[in-house]
Amino acid sequence: MHNQHLGQFGEKIAKHYLENKHYLFLEKNYRYQKGEVDLICQDLSTNEMVFVEVKTRKNTYVNPLLSVNLKKQHILMKVANNFCVENNISLDVRFDVLVIKVKNKLSLTVNHIDNAFSTHALAYY
């Protein structure tokens, strides 16, 4: 499976996973300027907008979370802000990361990092 196909596969798994947790799916691959958010949902249990970064990997020698560095977090926040302004959304916002480890199409694990980073923590960057 090529990286692009692996990423698309992971996003489908992530969407299904989140819908099973009672998230309302709103948009996939929302782009603004040079940034993109993989999935945008509303967590119906907390009534928060959730911007989700999906990291799908076959080999996990390197922690996939390392790719969600401060630069990537800033990009995600900028894209999320634009989405909220564009759609007149005033709900609280949260950033989650889903790490999907794929052994094959029948064997995978999903690690959901809820509120993976905070906009407050990045205020000094």
pTM: 0.88
Domain range holding 94? 3-117
As for how many domains the chain has, the answer is 1
Q: How far, rounded to the nearest angstrom, does the alpha carbon of residue 19 sit from its chain's CA centroid?
A: 14
pLDDT (tens digit, 9 = 90+) per residue, 6-55? 888 889 999 999 999 999 999 999 999 999 999 999 999 999 999 999 99
Q: In this structure, what CATH number is given to the domain that contains residue 102?
A: 3.40.1350.10
Residue 85 lies in a domain: yes
Q: What is the pLDDT of residue 57?
A: 84
Residue 125 lies in a domain: no
Any idea what DSSP says for residue 64?
G
Averaged over 55-69, what is the pLDDT? Answer: 78
Residue 110 lies in a domain: yes
Joined tokens for residue 10: 């992971």
Classify each residue of 64-92 as buried b or exposed e, where b means 16 or more C-beta atoms within 10 Å of its C-beta. Answer: beeebeeeebebbbebbebbbeeeeeeee
Instruction: Give the count of beta carbons closer than 10 Å to the beta carbon of residue 62.
Output: 9
Average pLDDT score, the chain: 87
Q: How far apart are CA 74 and CA 78, in angstroms?
A: 6
Does pLDDT of 102 surpass 90?
no
Residue 16 lies in a domain: yes
Residue 112 lies in a domain: yes
Residue 101 lies in a domain: yes
Residue 39 near residue 14 (C-beta atoms within 8 A): yes
Residue 123 lies in a domain: no
Residue 95 lies in a domain: yes
